[in-house]
Homo-oligomer: A and B are copies of this chain.
Amino acid sequence: MAGIPSSDRLRSALAEFVAIPSVSLDPARAGAMRDAAEWLVAQLAFANGRIVESDGHPVVLGERIVSEGALTVLVYGHYDVQPPGDETAWETPPFEPSIRDGRLYGRGATDDKGPVVIALEAARESTEVNVRFLFEGEEEIGSPSLPRFLDEHRDELAADLVVSADGAMWRASEPSIAIAAKGLLGLDVTVDGPASDLHSGRHGGAVLNPNHALAAIVASLHDADGRVAVAGFYDDVAEVSAGDREALGRIEFDEEAYRRETGVPALHGDPGYSTLERLWTRPTLEVNELRGGGAFTVIPGRATAHITCRLVPNQDPDRVFGAIASHVANVAPEAVRVALKQQPGAVPAYAIASDHPAVVAGLDALRSAYTDREPLLVRIGGTLPAAVLFDRHLGLKTLLFSFSTADENLHAPNEFFRLQRLDEGVTAWRNLLRRLGDGLRPPGPMSRIEA
């Protein structure tokens, strides 16, 4: 590859990677999944890249150990992508990478094949730290095989710190590192009334309509100001420290611009908090789906709601579920049967201290790539199960060091990746690995440094 400018090489690599339709959700794409894993193995020729089977899609591992005494970084990413959805909504086909206006369009370009290409390029030439690699193929389906895989491959994954290529910068105007991601609790409410749908003319007024009962239950979950009205919901919430809240207050955030962007007539939420505080630091309960009956004259036999809560540090998903279950039991009318079911795969919040040495190193590395803008510490309203799993199964903290941007149509049509991020990202990753190698040689793993 001598003679080819690195940015051209990186673009070609990304285009190759995006052209592989590695949709983990689609059984018909099993061949493409393996192709994507093998593409990674080829990229990891410098690091003993190999496919290791899991209970589900294959995992790609690799490592380059430069010195027994050096710090070891586990680089995490995923090679699977979301389904393309409605292909007619794409300006160019999702698996035919197309470059327009300095952006590479294609499914997976930013989530997270672009960031993975950056990490591979930076690690290839790193000599300051030992680097291990873990690329999974199930991130977009909830990483079901990852917990057991981590337990069964602890030795191959031994490290001091995880650096994740996955995640996303908050906005394009300045670089950022996310130091917290909310947890997730999903649950379903089912209200059963009549044994089958009834004619609403023949039976209206004599039985409780499950739609009415469900609406009353859902309406009871929030007060008029938007605060969650479930007793105990906020009990374990770790309030943001005064310092963090002050840092948060310094972040430029235009509420009116946000209102326009979302298209709502007015913003609405937990009183006493700014919009940014609501988004980043407060737990939420959102009814994602209401469904009952149809646009014809029935009293439906059943009405359902799907709910997800986003949790903040210290909240235990099971305990929050218990609080909601008690609340619903208290308000459920006797003329219907109400059932609540927790969905599998609840995840607590993830957080890394804003003064964790890896975060400090990450900020310095960003400054080296973006000399004109001060990087931000931000939080993610979404959930990062992998970071929680690394903490729980390997005892490792994760630094989210992604060069994706949240506006790049993740999970939507016309997903894209800003190509300038390739060089910026490689610069920053190289600096990060250097700083980690320089300044943070063990006595012990970084997770212990923090503790």
Q: Is A265 an interface residue (CB 8 A)?
A: yes
Closest beta carbon of chain B to A386's beta carbon, Å: 15
Q: Is A65 an interface residue (CB 8 A)?
A: no
Taking CB atoms and an 8 Å cut-off, the chain A residues in 280-298 that contact chain B are: 282-284, 286-298
Closest beta carbon of chain B to A252's beta carbon, Å: 17
B194 touches A262 (CB 8 A): yes
Q: Mark A219-232, 1 if CB is under 8 A from B, else 0.
A: 11110101000000
With a cutoff of 8 Å between Cβ atoms, the chain B residues found around residue A221 in the complex are 212
A211 touches B290 (CB 8 A): yes
Q: Mark A41-71, 1 if CB is under 8 A from B, else 0.
A: 0000000000000000000000000000000
Which residue of the partner chain, among B204, B308, B411, contacts A310 with CB atoms under 8 Å?
Answer: B204
Binding-face segment, A13-21, A106-114, A331-339: A331-339
Least CB separation from A222: chain B residue: B212
B201 touches A310 (CB 8 A): yes
Which residue of the partner chain, among B212, B269, B275, B406, contacts A202 with CB atoms under 8 Å?
Answer: B406
Q: Is A153 an interface residue (CB 8 A)?
A: no
Q: A195-B263, A198-B262, A263-B196 are in contact. Are A206 and B334 (CB under 8 A)?
A: no
Q: A268-B333, A335-B265 are in contact. Are A288 and B200 (CB under 8 A)?
A: yes
With a cutoff of 8 Å between Cβ atoms, the chain B residues found around residue A268 in the complex are 206-208, 333, 335
Which residue of the partner chain, among B266, B284, B293, contacts A204 with CB atoms under 8 Å?
Answer: B284
Closest beta carbon of chain B to A318's beta carbon, Å: 20
Q: Is A381 an interface residue (CB 8 A)?
A: yes
Q: A218-B215, A219-B219 are in contact. Are A206 and B258 (CB under 8 A)?
A: yes
With a cutoff of 8 Å between Cβ atoms, the chain B residues found around residue A224 in the complex are 216, 333
Which residue of the partner chain, among B184, B211, B283, B287, contacts A293 with CB atoms under 8 Å?
Answer: B287
Q: A211-B289, A218-B215, A288-B211 are in contact. Are A206 and B335 (CB under 8 A)?
A: no
With a cutoff of 8 Å between Cβ atoms, the chain B residues found around residue A300 in the complex are 288-289
Q: Mark A183-200, 1 if CB is under 8 A from B, else 0.
A: 010001000011110111
A214 touches B290 (CB 8 A): yes
Closest beta carbon of chain B to A381's beta carbon, Å: 4
Least CB separation from A406: chain B residue: B202
Q: Is A402 an interface residue (CB 8 A)?
A: no
A291 touches B290 (CB 8 A): yes
B264 touches A336 (CB 8 A): yes
A209 touches B286 (CB 8 A): yes
A279 touches B211 (CB 8 A): no
Q: Is A383 an interface residue (CB 8 A)?
A: yes
B206 touches A212 (CB 8 A): no
Least CB separation from A211: chain B residue: B287
A381 touches B201 (CB 8 A): yes
Least CB separation from A219: chain B residue: B219
B337 touches A194 (CB 8 A): no
Closest beta carbon of chain B to A158's beta carbon, Å: 32
Q: Is A78 an interface residue (CB 8 A)?
A: no
A30-B300 Cα distance, complex, nearest whole Å: 32
Q: A195-B263, A211-B218, A212-B222 are in contact. Are A204 and B286 (CB under 8 A)?
A: yes
A306-B289 Cα distance, complex, nearest whole Å: 16
Q: Is A119 an interface residue (CB 8 A)?
A: no
B299 touches A265 (CB 8 A): no
Which residue of the partner chain, among B193, B215, B411, contacts A287 with CB atoms under 8 Å?
Answer: B215
Q: List 13 A-B contacts (CB under 8 A).
A: A195-B262, A200-B308, A200-B310, A205-B278, A205-B283, A206-B258, A206-B268, A224-B333, A263-B301, A288-B298, A289-B294, A289-B295, A290-B291
Kindly list 13 other residue pairs between chains A and B, CB separation below 8 angstroms, not including A212-B287, A215-B219, A267-B335: A182-B201, A193-B264, A194-B264, A202-B382, A204-B286, A206-B258, A211-B218, A211-B290, A214-B290, A215-B218, A263-B301, A289-B296, A296-B306
